[in-house]
Amino acid sequence: MKLKNKIQKKDIKELILLISSFILGSIFTIILLVFSPLNLMLNSNNGTTITKDKTKIYEKSSLSSAISKVEDAVITIMNDGDAIGSGFIYKVDNKYAYILTNEHVITGKDKGKISLSNDIEKESTVLGSDSYLDIAVLRTTKNDIKKVATLSSSDKTNIGDVVFTIGTPVDKEYKNTVTSGILSGKDRGVKTKISNYSNKDIVMNVLQIDASINSGNSGGPLLNANGEVIGICTLKITEDNVEGLGFAIPIETAKNHLKELENKKDIKHPTLNIETEDVEDKYEYKNNNKTLDYGVIIKKINKNSILEKTNIKENDVITKINNKKIRNYLYLNSELYKYNIGTTIDLTYIHNGSENKIKVTLTSSE
């Protein structure tokens, strides 16, 4: 009898030990799932992974859903059967589909052939373009159009955000090529040639990206992780010692002028109507005994200039527009071209060694 009781007690202890081990093992497994990288895979949801502190991390591998939203809105612009650029459909009405692209892709053309994502080719008409902003609007019939891209805002993006492009780099065989990266910089000033003027330079205000873009990507959309357009791919730096420096026109630049371009009207750009000299071209320019290395010196205020009725005088130096430093005359124009006629801006200038600020309402030279 005593032996039987000892055996029963031993069995109970082993059972308790077994149950305890099971419970501890379960707890340990749960801890592993919650606090280890395994949790990232088990908690993935719509392109995000959720960490233990509920932080959502975007995974590049899940861009497929964003791509599917927009890939059929991307088109290839053709020339004699070859791909010369990209574009995207941003609007459809009762009869037509409207396409955004770069001006330098369609320079000198009134009409052109485009190819849809499913290889259907269509004729298009150039409605309007602007070489300073490097944007153009084309129109084609709405039949066979499957998707329309959603225009968002680059203002809502942050440096480090995931971006991607869709376009036709190099050759039509590579139609709808997707490349991805991050937004590397905003409000960059990049010097380039105006397509209509071989010897005329301009500084473009652009977004910087490290996503790969090549010849033929020009005019294609730059997209955020939701598949919404935040820019128009335009150029890259191609020097031998440079890699991953691509640029896109902020979509706001195009949105500000769509009505004019759709209605075949020329865009009127703001001007101060002054003659200037760049501070950086002078050997030395002193302001309160400190060397000034940026700004434009006003050499002449022309008739009908908006500065005629202000306190600004000849030999004063314009240094900022809306608190953005003006490096030289090219940057002055670049900043002015951001705004529409009738917009009021803050103009910072130096007069007799003192910094001043006034508000002026922009007009054109016409």
Dist CA 279 CA 285 (whole Å): 7
346 catalytic? Reply is: no
**Contact between 166 and 71 (Cβ < 8 Å):** yes
Count the Cβ atoms, other than its own, within 10 Å of residue 188.
Answer: 14
Active-site option among 104, 195, 257, 316: 104
The catalytically annotated residue of 218, 257, 278, 316 is 218
- Which one of the listed residues 86, 115, 129, 134 is annotated catalytic? 134
Here the tokens at position 157 are 């993006």
CB 177 within 8 A of CB 168: yes
| Cα–Cα distance, 218 to 352 (Å, whole number) | 46
Q: Would you call 130 a catalytic residue per the annotation?
A: no
* Tokens matching residue 184: 């590397």
Give strand ranges (E) for 19-67. 48-50, 56-58
Q: What single-letter amino acid sits at 119?
A: D
Q: Using the CB atoms, write b or e for 253-269: b if 16+ within 10 Å.
A: bbbbbbebbbeeeebeb
Cβ-contact 257, 133 below 8 angstroms:
yes
Reply yes or no on whether 134 is catalytic.
yes
- For 166, residues 6+ apart whose C-beta sits below 8 A from its C-beta are 67, 70, 71, 74, 86, 88, 176, 177, 178, 220, 221, 223
Cα separation, 58 vs 61, in Å, equals 9
Closest CA to 136 of 71, 77, 187: 77
Sign, Cα dihedral of 21, 24, 25, 26: positive
| DSSP three-state, residue 201 | strand
Nearest to 148 by CA among 99, 110, 182: 99
Catalytic residues: 104, 134, 218
